[in-house]
Amino acid sequence: MSNKQAELGEFGFAGDDRVVPFQVEGLDVRGRAVQVGPLVNTILDRHAYPQPVARLLAEAIVLTVLIGTSLKFDGKFTVQTKGDGPVDLLVADFSTPESVRAYARFNEDALAEAVAEGRTSPEQLLGNGVLAFTIDQGAFMQPYQGIVPLDGSSLEDIAGVYFRQSEQIPTRVRLGAAELFDRDENGKPRRTWRAGGLIAQFLPEAPDRMRLPDLHGGDGDERDFEVSHDDAWEEARMLVDTIDADELTDPQVGIERLLFRLFHERGVRAYAPQAVYDRCSCSRDKIKGVLQGFSAEEIESSTEDGKITVTCEFCSTSYDYEPAEVVAA
């Protein structure tokens, strides 16, 4: 009989880069949880982002994966921030059934100044602006977009506001990202990125139990709008809030163990995981189609050393074209 100890990723454990749907029947809660390792590390290494930018984008990737894998139709789900902070743009999208891509844009000088002054919290790096959630079901359907302000809160708090205001579903989101240092198989030091997250939603069978408090009454209204509206949801929310950021990224914890730690007294059930992959949707033909919409003047100004070079912002793949290739017939 083998004495080999079971590890995460074996014997039914989901492991990295697999989203685990779960249900807590005793609390009328359903949700999804994930730890991403190779996926997020590959994306961040590809762009060599500074540490504060990498951490932000890793959280955006996790948020995108958690929501995108819940789509019940073919399409694309995109999370995008646009603000006036040093990191003025984050974009992450999920294309069904399993493809993820992401990139960030930042001002190097503004970022260096913020880091020197210790202004590296998510709200300080993003600044004021908006967070947009976009669902695109294809060419024959109108895209749906929900927008919430970047109001000085973290990504997980802003996502909770979106669900409360747009979907009217009590929701708690937890996100975390960490840069880990270890050694490779040859003993050389290396650093790797990991990230994780959990989204829990209150979905009771009785609709009246989902009723939320009225919206804020405006200036001068001092009422507490985080009042308890259901004992089960309050318990679930408090349990989710006990999650440490390290638990979301620690490869020795894993999603199933984390869910058991949180909800074992209430009977948590984990379902079959869904794998996600770092996979860009760009192609030579797609970019050629875009270039064919350029005017002759734009093609001429884009030509350097006799060719047009286009680099995908997501995957950094470069495509070269002869000007004659992209002149529309």
pTM of the predicted protein model: 0.86
User: What is the C-alpha to C-alpha distance for residues 316 and 277, in angstroms, rounded to an integer?
Assistant: 16
Residue 92 and residue 199 share a domain: yes
Identify the three-state secondary structure at position 112. helix
Range(s) of the domain holding residue 116: 18-211+226-278
pLDDT confidence tier of residue 79, bands split at 50, 70 and 90: very high
Q: How much is the average pLDDT of 157-168?
A: 84
Which CATH number covers residue 194?
3.55.30.10
| C-beta separation of 130 from 80 below 8 A | no
Lookup: tokens for 311: 């680099």
Q: How much is the average pLDDT of 99-104?
A: 97
**Strands, E assignment, the chain:** 18-24, 29-36, 76-83, 89-95, 99-105, 129-136, 144-150, 171-183, 189-202, 268-270, 274-275, 277-278, 308-311, 318-321
- Residue 10 domain flag: no
Q: Based on the structure, what is the number of domains in the chain?
A: 2
Residue 69 and residue 198 share a domain: yes
Q: How much is the average pLDDT of 106-112?
A: 97
Residue 188 and residue 295 share a domain: no
- Residue 196 domain flag: yes
- Residue 267 domain flag: yes
Q: What is the pLDDT of residues 226-251, one digit of tens each?
A: 434 688 999 999 999 999 989 999 98
Residue 204 and residue 103 share a domain: yes
- Residue 57: per-residue pLDDT: 97
Residue 289 and residue 199 share a domain: no
Which CATH number covers residue 296?
3.90.1280.10
Q: What is the pLDDT of residues 285-318, one digit of tens each?
A: 999 999 988 888 999 899 998 899 999 999 999 9
